[in-house]
Structure 1
Amino acid sequence: MLPSWPRVIVAAPQTSQSSIGAPLCVAVDNLFDSVGGLTLTAELNKFQEAIDDMMTDLEPPQIRAITGLELAAGVFAKCSDSLATQLQVSLGLGKRDRGRTEFRIGINGDVYGGILAPLEVGTRRVDIAYVNPAAMVTVAYRGKGPYKQKLPLRVLGGFPSWDRIALVVSKDLGVKSLHDIAKRKIPLRVSTRFSGVNNGTYYTISALLSHYGFSFGHIKKWGGRVQECGRPFAAERMNAIGKRAINAVFDEGVSTVGGWLDLALENGFEIIPIELAIVKKMEQMGYTRAVLPKKRFKQLTADALTIDYSGWALVTHKWLPDRVAYAAIQTIDEKSKLLPIDDEKPLNMKELCRGSEKCPLQVPLHPGAAKYYREKGYL
Structure 2
Amino acid sequence: MLKVLGLIALVLVTIGLTGAQSGVVYNTGIAVKKPVFGGACKLCPWGAMAQVVQNAMKFYGYDVKICQNCNAAAAPRIVSGAKLPPPYQKDPAVSVAMAPPNEPGLGPVDFGATAESFLCQAFDGTGSYAHDKSMKNLRLIANIQSPWFLIVAARAETGITDLSQIKEKRWPVRIYASRNDRMVTEILGYYGLSVDSITSAGGYVGNTFADRNNFDVIVQGGALSSAPEWNVLYQVSQHFDLNYLDIPEPVLSKLAQDPLAYRGYIPVGLLRGVERTIPTIVRNGTVIYTRADVPDSFAYDVARAMDEHQDELQWTNQNFSYNIHNVWKAPCDVPLHPGAARYYKEMGYMK
Q: Shorter chain as normaliser: what TM range?
A: 0.5 to 0.7
After TM superposition, the runs of 4+ consecutive aligned structure 1 residues lying more than 6 A away are none
Q: In the aligned structure 1, how far is the partner of 2:74 from the partner of 2:167?
A: 31
Contact 1:158 1:351 (8 Å CA) reproduced: no
Correspondence for 2:217: 248
The reply to whether residue 116 of structure 1 matches residue 71 of structure 2 is no
- Deviation, 1:352, is 7.0
Q: CA deviation at 1:168?
A: 0.9
Paired amino acid for 2:337? H
| Distance in 1 (alpha carbons) for counterparts of 2:181 and 2:143 | 22
Q: Rate the CA distance shift 1:256–1:370 in 2: closer, same or farther, 3 A.
A: same
Alignment of 1:130 with 2:101, yes or no, is no
Other-structure match for 1:163: 148
Distance 1:209 1:24 in 2: 51
Distance 1:165 1:45, change over 3 A: closer
- Amino acid in structure 1 at the alignment position of 2:203: G
TM-score if structure 1 supplies the norm length?
0.54
**Displacement of 1:167 after TM fit?**
1.4
Cα distance in structure 1, aligned partners of 2:112 and 2:56: 27
Amino acid at match of 1:249: I
Partners of 2:36 and 2:113 in 1: CA distance = 13
Cα RMSD after superposing both structures: 4.5
Q: Which runs of no fewer than 5 residues in structure 1 stay unpaired?
A: 1-11, 14-20, 29-43, 52-65, 74-86, 89-107, 196-201
- Structure 2: stretches of 5+ with no match in the other structure: 1-14, 17-28, 38-54, 84-108
Distance 2:57 2:267 in 1: 43
Tell me which amino acid in the other structure corresponds to 1:156: I
Q: 1:216 to 1:120 in 2, by over 3 A?
A: farther
* Partner of residue 23 from structure 1, selected from 22, 31, 45: 31
TM-score, normalised with respect to structure 2: 0.57
Map of 1:330 onto structure 2:
304
Q: How does 1:184-199 map to 2 (within 5 A)?
A: 186-192=171-177
Q: 1:319 to 1:180 in 2, by over 3 A?
A: farther
CA distance in 2, matches of 1:181, 1:367: 53
**Paired positions, count:** 269
What is the CA–CA distance in structure 2 between the aligned matches of 1:155 and 1:188, rounded to whole Å? 43
Distance 1:284 1:169, change over 3 A: same
Aligned to 2:207: 228
Deviation at 1:262, TM superposition (A): 8.4
* Partner-residue secondary structure (3-state), 2:162: coil
Match of 2:324 among 321, 336, 350: 350
Q: Distance in 2 between matches of 1:127 and 1:46?
A: 14
Q: CA deviation at 1:225?
A: 3.3
Determine what percentage of the aligned residue pairs are the same residue: 20
Q: Distance in 2 between matches of 1:307 and 1:140?
A: 22
User: Which residue is 1:293 aligned to?
Assistant: 267
Residues 319 and 262 of structure 1: CA distance in aligned 2, closer, same or farther (over 3 Å)? same
DSSP 3-state at the match of 2:247: coil
TM-superposed CA distance for 1:333, in Å, is 4.0
Q: State how far apart, in whole Å, the 1-side matches of 2:284 and 2:169 are.
A: 32
Within 5 A, what are the aligned runs for 1:197-216?
A: 203=181, 205-206=183-184, 208-209=186-187, 212=190, 214-216=193-195
